[in-house]
Copies of this chain bind each other. A is one copy, B any other.
């Protein structure tokens, strides 16, 4: 039985990845920070949980020495592009130091066979020009928020520890992924939560920010399947884009959700909700990963939007 360790196992993607790995016969352990987040795990009795802050170098070392996983999925990170404008240093120190504590531990313990997944982001590409769409792994980087730069750093640290320490590191650059349990810091969850608030009479009007930018959305369930395949079949030292290859305007997403809503909902533009330097369009070319693993997203966006809306309905 292969042993997998997921950092941030109680997070949005982490909790889905735990299920994906359990279903595929892995023994799963993971790190978390807050007790409340454990509720995100549908199989918490089957996951060995460690309450560990990855900024704690010694605790991280001890964990890896103890668990010695075959596969290490490093998901824990500060993940909000928008929040990173307010705390760029915290975003950087968290995302880079956590990874460094892990990679240094693996290096010092000499665990050269451990396969490690580093989660980069489509945000590294940022404000690409229309001619550069869709974005493949060689699209030049034009990061437009501090989170994106922290992911560039995480991404190239992964490459560097492969090149100089021969660690078995695979990197992925996921595009937007969505589903139940995602934080309402992110657009689809924010829309769904507010629609439910209006359905319940708690809010009157739906205030929205920039609706013209386009994003490539994939169900989190398809994305975590790709994470598993990336460590099972990916080449160490390589990086893979993960997305759907289809982009939607934020306004189209909103329209789909509004059609699923009970009653008619009034929408109002709020200039305060418009991000600085919002990227016009993110669109994924995932052919490199597809030709290696056969992976393609399976779940239609309508189903994921419906599931997300139902999730917020059940929160009340």
Contact = CB atoms under 8 A, between A and B. Distances in A.
Interface of A: 57, 85, 88-89, 92-93, 96-97, 100-101, 104, 126-127, 138, 140-146, 148-150, 152-153, 156-157, 159-160, 163-165, 276-277
Contacts of A88: 100, 104
A160 B148 contact: yes
A264 to B, nearest CB: 36
A277 B89 contact: no
B97 A163 contact: no
Identical copies in the complex: 2
A201 B88 CA distance: 53
Contacts of A57: 89
29 contacts: A85-B164, A89-B97, A89-B101, A92-B97, A92-B153, A96-B153, A100-B146, A127-B163, A142-B159, A143-B156, A143-B159, A143-B160, A143-B163, A144-B160, A144-B164, A145-B164, A146-B157, A148-B156, A148-B160, A149-B153, A149-B156, A149-B157, A150-B153, A152-B152, A152-B153, A152-B156, A153-B153, A164-B276, A165-B276
Given A138-B140, A144-B164, 16 more contacts: A57-B89, A88-B100, A89-B96, A93-B93, A96-B153, A100-B146, A143-B160, A143-B163, A145-B160, A146-B157, A146-B160, A149-B160, A152-B152, A152-B156, A163-B277, A164-B276
Contacts of A160: 126, 143-146, 148-149
Contacts of A141: 156, 159
